[in-house]
Structure formats: structure tokens, C-alpha cells
Amino acid sequence: MRRARQTEAHPLVIDAACGRIECVREGNMATVYIDGRPSSALDLSDPTHLSFGYMQIMDAAARVAYTPAGERSAALHLGGCGCALPRAWARRWPDTRQVAVEIDPDMVAAVRAWFDLPKKPALSLRCEDARDTIVAAPARRYRLVVRDVFAAGVCPIDLADAQAWAHYARIVTEDGLVMVNSTGGVGAARAQADRAREAGLEWVRLVGTRRALTPGKAGNVVVLAAHRPLDDAALHRALQRCDDPAQLRPHPSG
């Protein structure tokens, strides 16, 4: 069983540049909090079990969109935290190379010490600014691009603006998928979906629970975007297997 480990150098509560990071164990689950906000949850006995609803949505979408295909089979995670999603995909697709980017070196050191995360080349955990990562990334490099970056609960502007979306559209492969976690309700998610369409991504969908997709309600909404259409029927079926079945909404223009 993989367990969260406390060491003298890495206690389960640390003060870092991004805030106070705490790892809380409850049975087989380990939850990472940043300034009291739950930011990642790992099942220490089953890497493929994801407890956060939006991660279940991303995992369902990836399973519909993605088939490993050799060297170009690569995933980019902007925002690492506890690396719950990379850890799950490493178990599901062991030959897929993944990169997780986290700006805070204390966070990177802590999660490496606390959790038995996959090692290179399965997972490369980098300490760098996510904006620098997408600017420097080669065109058509990643089959899966995940944006899950927040500072004080808000996604940095330079990862949500039109220029950022132009980079997402550039670095994802023609048969790849961009997945963005939006926490500002359906209005904020629609704005991100508009950016995706403006960047030239042909297929754009909003995914969330009925409550999250209701105007004026809070909740995580996942924006899915791709150069080529995904199978909406297959995606709908996959989303119904989430703990809280999610709904699929098309962008008005595609």
C-alpha cells in the first residue's frame, strides 16, 4: 500500500511560498490542503480512484479521447499539487510520458516526499512557471493538456487569456484534448470556452454537474476543447459513471 510519509525534512504541514500546505490522512485517502482549501486527494491503495468530481470528469474524457501511440503519447499537467491525475494515468497507461508543472519548489519537494509518485520517464515533475512551459513547448507536442492552476483560488490571468489559449491550441496534437478546470461557475467557464473557439479549437464542450452548470451557482466546470470532434455519445456514457453524473453542454458555435 502506498502511504503518505512524514519525514523530518518534510512534515505533513509546511509553510511554502504558495501558502500553508497540509497533508491529512483519513484511512487510505490523503488530502492536500493549501491554506485550508482541498487541492488534491489521493487514494493510497488505488491510484485510479479519483475522489474529486472534476478529476473524474477529466479522467472520463481522457479515456474517450486518448489511445497511447508511442513516443508522441504525452500528457502535460499545468498545476501539479499532489499529482492525483498523473498518478492515475500512470497506472492506466504506464507507457505514456507525463509532465506535471508546479511553481512552488516546496510543494514539489513535499509531494515527492509524502507520496510514492511515478518516476521519470513516466512522470517528470518540474518546478517552473506554467506560462513559461506553454510558451516554450513545441507545436503539437502533447496529446493531453490539463490546466488546473490556481493562486488563492483563482486561475492566473496569463493562463486563461487569449494568448494562453493560442498556446494550448498550438501545443496539443490534432487528435489531442485540452481540459481546463474552471471554478468560477458556468459564466467563467463559458468565457474560457469562447477563448478556446477563438484559438481555433473546433470542438468545445462544458461539463459539470447540473448545479455547477446552473447560472449563478458555484462549482467546478470542466472546459473540453479539441481540434477534432470527440464522440459525444461515448463521452456522455463515460460521464454517467462519475460519482455525481455530469452533463455535457456544447459551445453555441461548436
pLDDT at 225: 98
Structure confidence at residue 8 as a pLDDT band (50, 70, 90): very low
Residue 40 included in any domain: no
CA distance 83 to 108: 10
Please report the DSSP string for 75-118 in residue order.
EEEE--TT-HHHHHHHHHSTT-EEEEEES-HHHHHHHHHHS-PP
Asked if 132 contacts 111 with a C-beta cutoff of 8 angstroms, the reply is no
Buried/exposed 236-246: b ≥16 CB within 10 Å, e otherwise: bebbeebeeeb
CA distance 224 to 177: 7
- The tally of CA atoms less than 13 A away on the side-chain side of residue 92 is 19
Residue 24 included in any domain: no
Indicate which CATH number applies to the domain containing 236.
Answer: 3.40.50.150
Nearest to 37 by CA among 54, 22, 56: 22
3-state secondary structure of 247: strand
Asked if 220 contacts 212 with a C-beta cutoff of 8 angstroms, the reply is yes
Report H helices in 128-239: 130-136, 162-171, 185-198, 232-239
Residue 135 included in any domain: yes
Report H helices in 116-161: 130-136
Total tally of structural domains belonging to the chain: 1
pLDDT tens, residue by residue, 94-147: 999 999 999 999 999 999 999 999 999 899 999 999 999 999 999 999 999 999
Residue 241 included in any domain: yes
pLDDT tens, residue by residue, 196-232: 999 999 999 999 999 999 999 989 999 999 999 999 9
3-state secondary structure of 27: coil
pTM of the predicted model as reported, rounded to 2 decimal places:
0.93
Residue 119 included in any domain: yes
Residue 52 included in any domain: yes
CA distance 181 to 107: 20
Residue 8 included in any domain: no
pLDDT at 136: 98
Q: Which domain holds residue 188?
A: 47-250
How far does CA 233 lie from the centroid of its chain? Answer: 23
Residue 117 included in any domain: yes
